């Protein structure tokens, strides 16, 4: 899941994110559906992607 979330946060499109992690775009859609359910917010909206980027940045900053 971390690789999927990082790819979505750092790519300009979902197809580019899928290509970046070597999965079919429909597989990425399924993974995003699961991640959205776990996180509780949409990842396919601009606001959701911003929130994802911020969450990943905070996660990196919290590491020792």
In order of start, what are the domains of the chain with their CATH numbers? 2-62 (1.10.10.10)
Residue tagged 């991640």 (tokens): 35
What per-residue confidence (pLDDT) applies to 4? 95
What per-residue confidence (pLDDT) applies to 64? 79
Cα(41)–Cα(36) distance, rounded to whole angstroms? 6
Q: With contact defined as beta carbons under 8 Å apart, do 3 and 21 qualify?
A: yes
Q: With contact defined as beta carbons under 8 Å apart, do 18 and 30 qualify?
A: no
Cα(9)–Cα(17) distance, rounded to whole angstroms? 8
Read off the DSSP letter of residue 42: -
pLDDT in tens, 20-54: 999 999 999 999 999 999 999 999 999 999 999 99
Indicate the helix (H) or strand (E) that contains 20: helix 14-20
More confident residue, 52 or 63: 52
Q: What is the pTM of this model?
A: 0.85
């Amino acid at each position: 899941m971390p690789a999927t979330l990082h790819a979505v946060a750092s790519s300009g499109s979902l197809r580019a994110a899928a290509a970046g992690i070597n999965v079919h775009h429909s597989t990425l859609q399924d993974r995003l559906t699961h991640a959205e359910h776990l996180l509780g917010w949409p990842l396919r909206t601009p606001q959701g992607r911003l929130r994802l980027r911020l969450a990943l940045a905070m996660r990196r900053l919290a590491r020792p």
